[in-house]
A and B are shown apart, each in its own frame.
Chain A
């Protein structure tokens, strides 16, 4: 391939870009579900196309930004390794940590439900915990549990505990006094009220916590690997390939992490829609950004 002149490349990119944007604007202004789904997809395709044309045409060094096709090839070539990395980081570290941390947080939330004192004591500490960079405990966990997945799972557990706890406490307050009085008039026990009224009412909060935790778990597992890991794992792959300046492989690993992240988010959103179909936020016409 003969090297194109930068000016020609820029002119091509600008022409295609402007034409595509005009077409997309017309699409975006059309009502309906198809347009709402197609617009972001085509927008992404346009971005990828411009990325490819500009990085290749302007001969952007690989260290700065590899072209999407280069990344795709790296992804293809490295797929066995990446599969092992995903197994290590997602299956062994992120998911067990996520499950244990979220479950522990929710159980603690129920446990302190009957004690306003414990709630008032733990909530400020938990909101402080949401501010601090908890991932910094990774080196401590590595000293305690070694370089393997155990230390990463421990970090993820710690990170995911607090959102689950805080949202469980907030969610259990969601059932209104009238509804509780109704349950009381049925002579229902504390546990019956909890199970039949308050936990279902808390579900939107719990799903919020789970969605937050899903991305926190992935971030925690990856960043914890920056502190030290066995010779596989997504975080290890990223920091090791950076050392070799193999940026295409780094991007491939990041693409995998992004796919796992948005995949789990989509799963949780689907589960939320199925479980809390009755909630106003799930009804058609509600604010789709919330």
Chain B
């Protein structure tokens, strides 16, 4: 009987929150393999390789030294070499560059988390900021903040700061907004009933904050932090573009771009994605580890 309604049943059970883990793992893997297969076929068609054509073996198009569309195995090898082919301190090692970028991103992320939370606290408590500043914080989400990156680098360079700090400031300026807005929502999430109860207890503003507002805001904080982390990493990478920086994933991308090194671009991009995935994944794990701070579904 369950077979007969499988088509609907899968959908319904998935919505009901009963994970069918095998399907949940299998589906993305199958799709990913299909995408890679299409990609591989495209790579064999797109990359002209006279030698391979002469030999009559099509997969050798996969190993064109200057490919238009590198094949998945070629990218995999390039990424592997970039990650593990050189000592970690070598400027050719992508681990080294990822570490440089991640350092700046984490610094900016920390800055954004602290400043964003502080500003949200101020906005929630000061009516002038709530009505005068918050609209601008919301509007600023539609502004391309990242466009200011080159300017931040130059202005801070003028003040004598270079390297990590300008990149961290760029990261923070991006990551700051989701934290502020998320925390504003979170600190306002307690209901009137709850606030009234604390008032009957004659609780001070500080007590209301620590006993009610802050704990209720945590479920809003972690999703905001995940967005902030992804933005911080993008910010750090873009912050490395205009600096003439020698190290970092952004600098690596720019060098690959100037020299037309397709494989290096792909490898750098993959490492950047892995870095971002790991950093955000760590926050997601933290969120899962704190179940009492999760939003009720």
Contacts and interface: CB of A to CB of B under 8 A. Distances in A.
A139 B144 contact: no
Given A133-B237, A142-B257, A254 B132 contact: no
A138 B146 CA distance: 15
Please indicate which of the listed interface residues B10, B30, B142, B272 has the most CB atoms of chain A within 10 Å of its own CB.
B142
Contacts of A142: 257
B254 interface: yes
A168 interface: no
B147 to A, nearest CB: 5
Given A124-B28, A238-B151, A132 B272 contact: yes
Interface string B1-28: 0000001001100110000000110011
B144 A40 contact: no
Interface in B141-189: 141-148, 150-151, 154-155, 158-159, 181, 184-185
Interface range on chain B: under 10, 10 to 19, 20 to 34, or 35 or more?
A: 35 or more
A139 B139 contact: no
Contact of B144 (A42, A121, A136, A257): A257
B136 to A, nearest CB: 6
Interface of A, helix, strand, loop or mixed by DSSP: helix
Contact of B280 (A36, A131, A144): A131
A235 interface: yes
Interface string A46-74: 00000000000000010111000000000
Contacts of B233: 133
A166 interface: no
A120 B27 contact: yes
Interface string A246-290: 010011011001100110110000000000000000000001011
A265 B139 contact: yes
A140 interface: yes
A245 B254 CA distance: 21
Give the interface size class of chain A. Answer: 35 or more
A144 B265 contact: no
Contacts of B276: 131-133
Contact of B257 (A36, A228, A251): A228
A198 interface: no
18 contacts: A24-B128, A28-B132, A40-B135, A43-B128, A64-B159, A121-B27, A125-B32, A128-B277, A131-B230, A131-B280, A136-B250, A139-B256, A139-B265, A140-B262, A140-B265, A143-B257, A226-B238, A257-B143
